Chains A and B, each alone.
Chain A
Amino acid sequence: MWAADLINIMQANMAMLIKETGNTLYMTFVSSLFAYILALPLGIALVITREDGLYPMGALYRFLDILVNIGRSVPFLILLVAIQPLTTLIVGKSYGSTATIVPLVVAATPFIARLIESSLQEVDQGVIEAAQSMGASLSTIIFKVLIPEAKTSLMVGGTIAIGTILSYSAMAGFVAGGGLGDVAVRYGFYRYEGEIMLITVVLMVILVQLIQFIGMKIARKTDKRAI
């Protein structure tokens, strides 16, 4: 009987659920894109400026290192509220899916920078040395050795990052951020409609599973080390 209820509720709210799933995916992917645009140079800088890096700059490294740590330690919910003035400045309002992208990018960038850093760090030192012995410049080493050789690891990191951003986006529901998280908060938390909340949670689980599955599949398929 309960299952039938659940299906009825789902059918009744189908349009809203589809729309909000779309919003969740929109927030997740647009935020991931912008966060990667910001995090890539940051991650590269973290790798090359460290003391044993390709372009050691101790002071800059320590500054970036601390900056990233601070960025990662601020709880997302607090960040969400704290940067509302910035969000309003960029988007024009502080609620809705587009507005949620701003705090998502701010929160995800340091996290992704760390993922990129660790992926690039894995590249075999010997291969870098070989490139140097051929007379490769720093930019050649970054774009033709470090990034292509770390490709698989970067894709695995990307998959993890997108999954994490998706779950962050749900938290934005508490400030009317739109998407499935918003639905869960509005119906489940404020109106005690447990069924809708359950459906949104299941949808979130499915989305994360799908992202993980597709991401890993692509990463494995393009890895030339495992043929």
Chain B
Amino acid sequence: MGTTPLIQIKDLQKEFKSQNDTVTALTGINLNINKGDIFGIIGMSGAGKSTLVRCINFLERPTKGTIIIGDKDLSLLNDRELRQVRHNIGMIFQQFNLLMQRNVEDNICFPLEIAGLSKKEGRKKAAELLDLVGLSDKKKAYPSQLSGGQKQRVAIARALATNPQILLCDEATSALDPTTTRSILALLKDINKKLGITIIIITHEMSVVEEICSNVAIIDNGVLAEAGKVEDVFRNPKTEAAKKMFYNNSNIVRKMKGKRIIRIVFDGKSSNEPVIANLVLEFKAHVNILFADLKEINENSFGQMVLQLPEDKDLSDKIIYYLRNIIKVNVEELIDYVGS
């Protein structure tokens, strides 16, 4: 791809100094995010992902390294220029962070006031945005009168008021119930399509990444473990951290110790074939299905299945060869993987 990425994170390091020691929150992060991506950044709590997203708009100034947005190196900007750049980067939060003493309309107008727009222009823009997020009837309501999902919709409208190119979402759905989460994610996807806005989503939930992200980066203990297209990382996670994120919801991991266990991933083609039935007939082997589920990733279906193969090494090697080269599905041995 010849085009330069919209956001370049270069050799980013962030340390927090307290009186007696220094904590390194992030180190050696390099990441490119292209225009129009919905980029998921996932990690356990405390991994440093919230710090990373705050470095992108320089709410946290990196200790080392820099962020380049378009052609602007943020570390070279003064305060005024930095504030100007922030008009181009919207942000939403887990706790919504609306102004509680302002009504919905005035909340959405707030970034426009900061940008120096007139009240009249602000109100016009607010009306458009309320329409976009489906809350036109709540214009004069105060945040305390809204549900969590509605508050987040207002926050999204507010973040979009200055027509930013980038929207940062810091655990934006973590305080919401599953149904509301889905509707907010659908809204974000819709905004991404309609406005072409690049979205960066910080989350600890893989389901969020699977539901809307095109790309994913996995942050583990302050370092970037792995990054790529969601399908690719799902099909073939290379690092422990990535595996942990994908299998986290299946607590079978603990029982896998010392057995011959494989994980196979089907995509659209192979899910039409009776793969396991064929395998059993072919080898007359006892194959135990430990775990199976189906995921929608970017509107494609992926199946994943964790199988326990016979203890006989020759036989299980043959089965793996068969799956890999005849059926052509992704096979990954979990034999070394002793999950936590």
Across the interface, which residues of A come within 8 angstroms of B150, CB to CB?
A: none
A129, B101: Cβ atoms under 8 Å? no
1/0 per residue, CB under 8 A from A, across B62-102: the answer is 00000000000000000000111111011101010111111
Q: Give Cα A226 to B101, complex, Å.
A: 10
Across the interface, which residues of B come within 8 angstroms of A140, CB to CB?
A: 113-114
Q: Give Cα A224 to B155, complex, Å.
A: 17
| Majority SS at the chain A contact face | helix
Across the interface, which residues of B come within 8 angstroms of A145, CB to CB?
A: 99
Q: Give Cα A133 to B200, complex, Å.
A: 14
Across the interface, which residues of A come within 8 angstroms of B155, CB to CB?
A: 130
B: contact size bracket: 20 to 34
B142, A227: Cβ atoms under 8 Å? yes
A227, B113: Cβ atoms under 8 Å? no
CB distance from A148 to the nearest CB of B (A): 5
Q: Give Cα A151 to B142, complex, Å.
A: 15
1/0 per residue, CB under 8 A from B, across A133-175: the answer is 1111100100011001101100000000000000000000000
Q: Give Cα A124 to B95, complex, Å.
A: 10
The number of residue pairs between A and B whose CB atoms lie closer than 8 Å in the complex comes to 79
CB distance from A152 to the nearest CB of B (A): 8
A: contact size bracket: 20 to 34
Across the interface, which residues of B come within 8 angstroms of A11, CB to CB?
A: none
Across the interface, which residues of B come within 8 angstroms of A130, CB to CB?
A: 91, 93, 97-98, 155
Interface centre among B83, B90, B97 (most CB of A within 10 A): B97
Given A140-B114, A225-B100, A132-B59 contact (CB < 8 Å): yes
Given A149-B99, A224-B101, A133-B114 contact (CB < 8 Å): no
Is the CB of B270 closer than 8 A to any CB of chain A?
no
Is the CB of B144 closer than 8 A to any CB of chain A?
yes
A227, B145: Cβ atoms under 8 Å? yes
Across the interface, which residues of B come within 8 angstroms of A75, CB to CB?
A: none
- Identify B114's interface contact among A129, A135, A149, A224, CB under 8 A: A135
Q: Which residues of B contact A (CB under 8 A)?
A: 57, 59, 82-87, 89-91, 93, 95, 97-103, 110-111, 113-115, 142-145, 155, 162, 168
Q: Which 9 A-B pairs have the closest CB atoms?
A: A135-B86, A135-B83, A130-B97, A133-B91, A126-B97, A134-B111, A224-B142, A225-B144, A224-B101
Please list 21 pairs of residues, one from A and one from B, whose beta carbons are closer than 8 Å in the complex, sorted by A's number. Answer: A126-B95, A126-B97, A127-B99, A129-B93, A130-B97, A131-B114, A133-B59, A133-B91, A134-B86, A134-B87, A134-B110, A135-B85, A135-B86, A135-B114, A144-B110, A148-B102, A151-B101, A225-B101, A225-B142, A225-B143, A227-B142
